[in-house]
Each structure stands twice: as structure tokens, then as C-alpha cells.
Amino acid sequence: MYLELKKRVITSLILILILILMFINNIIYGFVSFALFALIFVEFSKMISIIFSKKKIFQLIINVIFIFYLSLFLSIFFLGINFFQLKIIIFLILLICVASDIGGIIIGKIFKGPKLTKISPNKTISGSLGSFIFSIVISVFLLNLTLNTEIIFNVTLGITVSLAVQLGDLFFSFLKRKSSLKNTGNILPGHGGVLDRVDGILLGIPCGLIFTLILSS
């Protein structure tokens, strides 16, 4: 438990540092963000090439769709450079994603219990509930502290983001199982690939932003 938790905490601190760069130096922030997304695509493409090794057209279609998705994601981050409030929202949603990740590990390891799914054997129902609880608590605390939004909005955002994080995590776990890979890469010694560390966040942040934009419009 402690090793996995340590990995998640270190990853979270790095991601938070990158977002802090958004407030300090736009050039560094842009370069680091682009590099991360490039590494994510390389790792994703490797899995797809293994899964669809004999179906090149499928590889092409899926990679194009994923590039489009990453481009939208990257566009949101670069928009944040020019809009201060968007920077704040992205930062807060990232922290909720981190809370979901860490909550799942801590509660899941403490209470264990029935497995959540065969896709990822290490995940338990208690861990999933822990993810929701941690996300809700952090969402309520941070949003009340910074944006002073209503409690129902804060709770619902926490649930939405945690659900997206867990689904993203399961999706990439499924791809790793299908491609018979333990990790998406080895660029981070002891931590695997970049995608191993940000799998849930790739879905958590966009879903959190969409939820926020819909309810605030």
C-alpha cells in the first residue's frame, strides 16, 4: 500500500507543480505540457499497436481519435494561460482527481473486501467508495474556500470527477491487460510510464470542466 501511495503522491506533486507553472511561466508550462502529451500518445499508441497488430486500419483510426482527444485536452490547458479563473478551476479539479486516486488506495487497502471488476483485480468496492468520499470531501472544502459555490454543486462535482477518474483508470487498465503490459512505459523508474500515472486524470479533468461549464452557464 505504502509503495503505491508514495508513487501516487509523487506523481500528484509533479502534476501540481506543472500547473503552478501556469501561474508563473507560460513558456515552461507550455513546453512541459506538450512534452507530457507527446509521451502519453507514444505510450497509448504502443498498446494499440499490440492489441491490433494485424489490423493496421484500426490502429490508425484509434490513434487519430486519441490525438483529437489529446488536442482538445491540450487546448483547454493552453486556454488556461489567458483566463485566470479557468486556471483556478483546472487546478481545483486536478486536486479532486488526486483525492479520488489517493482515497481509493488508502480505503481499498484498509478495508479490502469484494473486487470491483476483473479488469483490474487490485481494485475493490471499498476502494471505489473511498475514491468518492475523498473526492467529495476535497471538492466541498476547496470550492467552498475558493469559489464559494453551493454545497450541492460541490458534492456533485466531486462525484462526477471521481467517477470519471475511476472509469479512465479502468479503461487504460483494460488496454494494458489486452496488450499484456504491466506498465505503459518505463520512462519513470519505479513508476512505469507517464500514462500509468495520469490515466484517470485524462478523463477526470475534462469531465469536471464540462460539468462546471454546463452548470455555470
DSSP string of 125-183, one letter each residue? HHHHHHHHHHHHHHHHHHHHHHT---HHHHHHHHHHHHHHHHHHHHHHHHHHHHTT-SS
Instruction: Report the half-sphere exposure of 118 (CA within 13 A, side-chain side).
Output: 1
pLDDT in tens, 57-94: 999 999 999 999 999 888 877 776 677 788 888 889 98
Q: How far apart are CA 169 and CA 60, in angstroms?
A: 23
pLDDT in tens, 113-149: 899 888 888 889 999 999 999 999 999 999 999 988 9
Q: Are 115 and 121 in contact (CB under 8 A)?
A: yes
Nearest to 207 by CA among 138, 161, 151, 146: 161
Nearest to 90 by CA among 29, 176, 175: 29
Q: How far apart are CA 50 and CA 10, in angstroms?
A: 29
Over the range 107-126, which residues count as b (16 or more CB within 10 Å of their CB) and which as e?
Answer: bbbeeeeeebeebbeebbeb
Residue 188 pairs in a beta bridge with: 192
Q: Looking at residue 81, what is its pLDDT?
A: 65
pLDDT in tens, 4-40: 666 667 766 776 777 677 667 777 777 777 888 899 9
Identify the three-state secondary structure at position 204: helix
Residue 152 pairs in a beta bridge with: none
pLDDT in tens, 91-122: 899 899 999 999 998 999 888 889 988 888 88
Q: Looking at residue 155, what is its pLDDT?
A: 97
Q: Looking at residue 121, what is its pLDDT?
A: 81
Q: Looking at residue 191, what is its pLDDT?
A: 61
Max avg pLDDT among 44-48, 84-88, 192-196: 44-48
If pLDDT is split at 50, 70 and 90, which confidence band does 186 have? confident
- Distances in Å between the alpha carbon of 188 and those of 99, 100, 124, 141, 199? 22, 22, 26, 32, 15
